[in-house]
């Protein structure tokens, strides 16, 4: 059980674990593994708390549903599992400014938070626009040999590499 306390797992073990999880997801729920719909559904549930049932009648929310479903619980499980993994490995640390950011941009917290917020918003819009996130396309879609998912996954990597080079001045 030593592997449970490791700071970094083997990418092969993690990949096998994700593959098995994908199989189980298809077997049990008859749906592909993905997370971004849970975030869209959560925003709809928050909106519904303020605006009432009219929110659920909008075409987009009617299509995705406004409920705590298995994808929503998957996101919760990822957060809890990540936290437990960091605790077990002794790697848990509250950091407002990660080391890499600190070296490149300095210790200011507000620019880091704003950048993370804007990046998260862009990722959310992109995931909904592409009708799926990196896990939905890169794992589940690729498993199903979806051409759109393979193209999306390739461009996720290209976009991530270009963005890292732009942000950290590696060009």
pLDDT digits (tens, 9 = 90+) for 111-165: 999 999 998 898 888 888 887 777 788 888 888 888 988 988 898 889 889 988 8
Q: Is residue 81 part of a domain?
A: yes
Classify the phi-psi angles of 106: left when phi > 0, otherwise alpha if psi is within -120 to 50, otherwise beta. left
Q: Are the C-beta atoms of 140 and 23 separated by less than 8 Å?
A: no
Q: What letters, b where the CB count within 10 A reaches 16 and e where it falls short, cover 29-44?
A: eeebbbbbbbbbbeeb
Q: Is residue 24 part of a domain?
A: yes
The token pair that represents 81 in the structure block: 């599992």
Neighbouring residues of 137: CB distance < 8 A, sequence distance ≥ 6: 130, 146, 148, 149, 152, 153, 156
Domain of 14 in residue numbering reads as 1-94
Neighbouring residues of 103: CB distance < 8 A, sequence distance ≥ 6: none
Q: Is residue 149 part of a domain?
A: no
Q: Are the C-beta atoms of 141 and 132 separated by less than 8 Å?
A: yes
70-89 and 36-51 are packed helices; what angle lies between their axes, rounded to 10 degrees?
A: 120
pLDDT digits (tens, 9 = 90+) for 23-41: 888 888 888 888 888 888 9
Distance of CA 148 to the CA centre of its chain: 19
Cβ–Cβ contacts within 10 Å for residue 143, how many?
16
pLDDT digits (tens, 9 = 90+) for 78-102: 999 999 999 999 989 888 999 888 9
What is the C-alpha R_g of the chain? 18
Q: Is residue 46 part of a domain?
A: yes
Q: Is residue 55 part of a domain?
A: yes
CA-to-CA dists, residue 15 to 8, 77, 127, angstroms = 13, 18, 22
Whether 171 shows a pLDDT value over 70: the answer reads no
The total of structural domains in the chain comes to: 1
pTM attached to this predicted model: 0.76
């Amino acid at each position: 059980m030593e592997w449970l306390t490791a700071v970094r797992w083997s990418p092969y073990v993690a990949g096998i674990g994700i593959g098995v999880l994908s199989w189980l997801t298809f077997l049990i729920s008859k749906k592909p593994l993905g997370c971004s719909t849970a975030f869209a559904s959560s925003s709809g549930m928050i909106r519904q708390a303020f605006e009432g049932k009219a929110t659920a009648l909008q075409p987009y929310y009617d299509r995705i549903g406004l409920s705590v479903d298995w994808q929503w619980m998957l996101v919760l499980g990822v957060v809890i599992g990540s936290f437990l993994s960091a605790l077990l490995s002794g790697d848990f640390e509250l950091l407002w400014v990660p080391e890499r950011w600190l070296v490149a941009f300095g210790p200011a917290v507000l620019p880091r938070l704003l950048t993370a917020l804007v990046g998260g918003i862009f990722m959310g819009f992109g995931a909904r626009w592409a009708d799926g996130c990196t896990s939905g396309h890169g794992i589940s879609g690729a498993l199903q040999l979806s051409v759109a998912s393979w193209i999306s996954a390739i461009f996720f990597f290209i976009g991530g590499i270009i963005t890292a080079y732009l942000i950290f001045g590696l060009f």
